[in-house]
């Protein structure tokens, strides 16, 4: 039987689309991207209304909601029941970024659906998630081809920067208060020819300070959920004046989603860190916040 997929996390939706199975999506979140011509039901909306111009306010609202043991996302149970999903896609990475595992399991139980939880926290883990999803959907061969192509691209970047000095790099996942990016982001930095001064591969993102990032040659602004234009509009105001090598990236597509977009992020980071080898990044993917940010 063809699976009827309810995706409760944007990265899972990305994988389904990349596997050529987008037509199986019956329900998605407000943040999911689907191809033109498809119209799955949006069944997840945020409980906290974000104002990207106020990262401190967003952090405070999220913290208060979590402290009250309230969900950060609302699921339209009636719509889900009407859709009749047979497979629910979820994650255990972060309850701020997506529906919690508890909510997902409850939704699946009420629908009589199976649950597949994406759990990768490193670049290697993300590729493993693609394979697991392919296996679950009867698309093992397309998943293997996708993973092989992503590996080819990662190997090409690693070969291009081989022998170059690793540039000390800080990736800021949230500007106020500062959150240091973890999970797969330090892996992205390493493949791109950098050394993450504060994040550790596979470790959760964490609160930090601008002071501990002072040793970075390059600071990358990648607020979770922000695209490039939103980052440029709101994040640089929180960067200390003494940082003169600061770049903004499209975090929503290339840093914070555990999907194939993370490989795009590696390619962008490599162009930020080693433009002498690969050329500068394309302006729709990353831009310097200050003129002095362009590495020489």
**CATH assignment of the domain containing 33:** 3.40.50.1980
**HSE-up of residue 170 (Cα within 13 Å, Cβ side):** 26
What's the rounded Cα separation, in Å, for the pair 151 and 148? Answer: 5
Of 87, 119, 151, which marks where a domain is finished? 119
**Distance (Å, whole) CA 146 – CA 260:** 9
Q: Strand runs (DSSP E) across 30-77, as ranges?
A: 41-46, 73-75
Say how many CA atoms lie within 13 Å of 32 toward its Cβ. Answer: 33
Residue 156 placed within a domain: no
d(CA 9, CA 97) in angstroms, rounded, equals: 8
What's the pLDDT at 240? 94
* Domain-ending residue, one of 60, 86, 119: 119
Claim to verify: residue 77 and residue 188 sit in the same structural domain: no
Q: Are residues 76 and 15 in the same domain?
A: yes
Same domain, 18 and 111: yes
- Both 180 and 246 in one domain: the answer is yes
Is 110 domain-assigned? Answer: yes
> Into how many domains does the chain fold?
2
Does residue 262 lie in a domain region? yes
Q: What is the pLDDT of residue 66?
A: 66
Residues 114 and 170 in one domain: no
Q: Which residues contact 162 (CB under 8 A, 6 or more apart)?
A: none
Judgement on whether residues 96 and 187 belong to the same structural domain of the protein: no
Number of helices followed by number of strands (H, E) in the chain = 11, 13
What global pTM score does this model have?
0.94
Q: Which residues of 14-51 are buried (b: 16+ CB within 10 A; e: fewer)?
A: bbbbbbebbebbbbbbebbebeeeeebeebbeeebeee
Tell me, yes or no, whether 87 lies in a domain: yes
User: Last residue of a domain, which of 97, 119, 141?
Assistant: 119
Contact 255, 262 (CB under 8 A): yes
What's residue 61's pLDDT? 76
Q: Determine contact, residues 47/72, Cβ cutoff 8 Å.
A: yes
Binned average pLDDT, 10 residues per bin, the chain of 296 residues: 92 97 96 94 85 81 72 88 96 74 88 93 97 97 98 98 97 96 98 97 96 95 95 94 93 96 98 96 94 51
pLDDT digits (tens, 9 = 90+) for 164-189: 999 999 999 999 999 999 999 999 99
Summarize pLDDT for 213-272 with one digit per residue, the tens.
999 999 999 999 899 999 999 999 999 998 989 999 999 999 999 999 999 999 999 999
Backbone angles phi, psi at 37, to 5 degrees: 95, -15
How many CB atoms sit inside 10 A of residue 107's CB? 24
- Amino acid 296: pLDDT: 47
CB 173 within 8 A of CB 225: no
Residue 152 inside a domain? The answer is: no
Contact 40, 26 (CB under 8 A): yes
Nearest to 171 by CA among 149, 203, 147: 203
The answer to whether residue 263 is domain-embedded is: yes
Residue 16 lies in a domain: yes
Does residue 103 share a domain with residue 180? no
Identify whether residues 108 and 181 lie together within a single domain. no
Judgement on whether residues 228 and 283 belong to the same structural domain of the protein: yes
Domain that holds residue 193: 166-293
Do 40 and 110 sit in the same domain of this protein?
Answer: yes
> Residue 218: beta bridge partners?
169
Statement to judge: residues 33 and 104 lie in one domain: yes
DSSP letters for 116-159: EEE---SHHHHHHHHHHHHHHTT-HHHHHHHHHHHHHHHHHHHH
64 and 171 fall within a common domain: no
Angle at CA 46, nearest 5°, toward 41 and 49? 130
Locus of tokens 């999907």: 259
**Within a domain: residue 127?**
no
């Amino acid at each position: 039987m063809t699976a009827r997929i309810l995706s409760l996390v944007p990265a899972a939706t990305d994988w389904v689309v990349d596997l050529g199975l987008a037509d199986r999506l019956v329900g998605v979140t407000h943040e999911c991207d689907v191809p033109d011509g498809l119209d799955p039901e949006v069944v997840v909306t945020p409980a906290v209304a974000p104002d990207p111009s106020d990262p401190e306010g967003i952090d405070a609202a999220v913290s208060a909601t979590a402290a009250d043991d309230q969900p950060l996302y609302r699921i339209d149970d009636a719509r889900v029941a009407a859709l009749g999903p047979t497979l629910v896609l979820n994650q255990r990475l972060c309850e701020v970024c997506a529906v919690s595992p508890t909510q997902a399991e409850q939704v699946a139980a009420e629908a009589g659906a199976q649950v597949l939880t994406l759990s990768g926290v490193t670049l290697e883990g993300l590729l493993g998630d693609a394979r697991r999803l392919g296996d679950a959907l009867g698309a093992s061969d397309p998943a293997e081809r996708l993973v092989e192509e992503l590996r080819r691209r990662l190997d090409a970047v690693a070969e291009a920067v081989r022998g170059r000095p690793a540039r000390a790099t800080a990736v800021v996942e949230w500007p106020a208060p500062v959150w240091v990016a973890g999970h797969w982001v330090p892996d992205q930095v390493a493949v791109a020819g950098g050394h993450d001064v504060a994040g550790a591969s596979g470790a959760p993102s964490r609160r930090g300070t601008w002071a501990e990032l002072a040793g970075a040659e390059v600071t990358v602004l990648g607020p979770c959920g922000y695209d490039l234009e939103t980052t440029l509009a709101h994040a640089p105001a929180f960067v200390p004046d003494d940082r003169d090598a600061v770049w903004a990236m499209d975090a929503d597509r290339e840093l914070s989603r555990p999907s194939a977009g993370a490989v795009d992020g590696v390619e962008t980071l490599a162009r930020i860190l080693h433009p002498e080898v690969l050329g500068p990044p394309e302006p729709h993917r990353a831009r310097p916040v200050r003129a002095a940010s362009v590495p020489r």
